């Protein structure tokens, strides 16, 4: 596939012949692309950055830039991106910091829509989605299949659980429960189970029923969080409910209920 004559590729970059690099793209030193990647135009990738196979980068994406952290002093931190991701226009993804472990990680089969930002030391799980303008501060974890809605700012060190759905424009300052629908109609809180999303992903009616009962303890019953967890533990736990309990117990910033 072609490399456009206006593209600038550092001699130390690794770009397989199967990749397509469009007009005015810049690939810096210590960047490694996998097979069949496509850089449309005006894409900038800086290193150290490792990128897997079959990724598409739309115009003006800025990938692997230095972290926006005043303590950063040119440390050799890096960015790792998996396979089959779509990274749309004006997306920015920063490398890690030494104090955060040194790596920003983006998984596989992820859609990152226009103007989204992934800050330093973030971890994005497989098949997650960041809708237009989603903004992740440093050290954020977005787990598998989670959806961060349009124009959502997410506070640093927040964890967003598997299969969670966050409505557009919601300010996230605490951990988002897995399987939940969380939004800011009047104030930010979880509104219940993301039933439609889970059905689309093949959850059986039995799995949904058991998760619904757990969410009823958490959100609808007259119990505090500790009482709800005790109630869930007292019953026969499915893998989903066990994960939900562990997520809550490990939360450092507290959860949005």
CATH code, domain with 230: 1.20.1180.10
What pLDDT score was predicted for residue 187? Answer: 64
Asked if 13 contacts 29 with a C-beta cutoff of 8 angstroms, the reply is: yes
Quick check: is 154 in a domain? Answer: no
| Dist CA 87 CA 83 (whole Å) | 11
Active-site positions read: 120-121, 138
206 and 120 fall within a common domain: no
How many structural domains is the chain composed of?
Answer: 2
| Dist CA 149 CA 132 (whole Å) | 7
Single pTM value for the model: 0.94
Quick check: is 215 in a domain? Answer: yes
CA–CA distances in Å: residue 216 to residues 176, 213, 222: 16, 5, 10
122 and 242 fall within a common domain: no
CB-based burial of residue 238 (10 Å sphere; 0-12 exposed, 13-18 middle, 19+ buried)? middle
240 and 118 fall within a common domain: no
Quick check: is 188 in a domain? Answer: no
Domain boundary among 142, 162, 182: 142
Quick check: is 102 in a domain? Answer: yes
135 and 227 fall within a common domain: no
Cβ-based neighbours of 120, under 8 Å, separated by 6 or more = 67, 68, 69, 72, 77, 94, 95, 96, 97, 100, 104, 138, 139
What pLDDT score was predicted for residue 186? Answer: 58
Tokens (6 digits) for 73? 């002093």
Asked if 149 contacts 133 with a C-beta cutoff of 8 angstroms, the reply is: no
Domain boundary among 103, 119, 142: 142
Quick check: is 171 in a domain? Answer: no
Domain boundary among 142, 163, 185: 142
Q: What is the pLDDT along the chain (257 residues), one digit of tens a residue?
A: 699 999 999 999 999 999 999 999 999 999 999 999 999 999 999 989 999 999 999 999 999 999 999 989 998 899 999 999 999 999 999 999 999 999 999 999 999 999 999 999 999 999 999 999 999 999 999 999 999 999 999 999 999 999 999 999 999 999 999 999 988 765 666 778 899 899 999 999 999 999 999 999 988 778 899 999 999 999 888 999 999 999 999 999 999 88
CATH code, domain with 95: 2.160.10.10
């Amino acid at each position: 596939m072609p490399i456009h004559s206006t593209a600038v590729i550092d001699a130390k970059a690794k770009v397989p012949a199967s990749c397509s690099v469009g007009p005015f793209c810049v690939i810096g030193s210590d960047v490694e692309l996998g097979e069949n990647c496509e850089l449309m135009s005006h894409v900038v990738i800086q290193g150290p950055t490792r990128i897997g196979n079959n990724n598409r980068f739309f115009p003006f994406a800025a990938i692997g830039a230095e972290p926006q952290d005043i303590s950063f002093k040119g440390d050799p931190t890096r960015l790792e991106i998996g396979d089959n991701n779509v990274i749309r226009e004006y997306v920015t993804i920063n490398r890690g910091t030494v104090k955060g472990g040194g790596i920003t990680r983006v998984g596989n089969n992820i859609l990152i829509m226009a103007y989204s930002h992934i800050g330093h030391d973030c971890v994005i799980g497989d098949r997650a989605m960041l809708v237009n303008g989603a903004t992740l501060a440093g050290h954020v974890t977005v787990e598998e299949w989670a959806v961060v809605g349009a124009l959502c700012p997410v506070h640093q060190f927040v964890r967003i659980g598997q299969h969670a759905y966050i409505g557009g424009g919601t300010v996230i300052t605490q951990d988002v429960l897995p399987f939940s629908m969380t939004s800011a109609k009047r104030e930010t809180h979880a509104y219940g189970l993301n039933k439609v999303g889970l059905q689309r992903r093949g959850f059986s009616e039995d799995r949904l029923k058991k998760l619904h009962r757990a969410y009823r303890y958490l959100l609808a019953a007259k119990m505090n969080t500790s009482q709800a967890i005790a109630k869930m533990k007292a019953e026969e736990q499915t893998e989903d409910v066990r994960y939900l309990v562990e997520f809550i117990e490990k939360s450092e910033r507290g959860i949005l209920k």
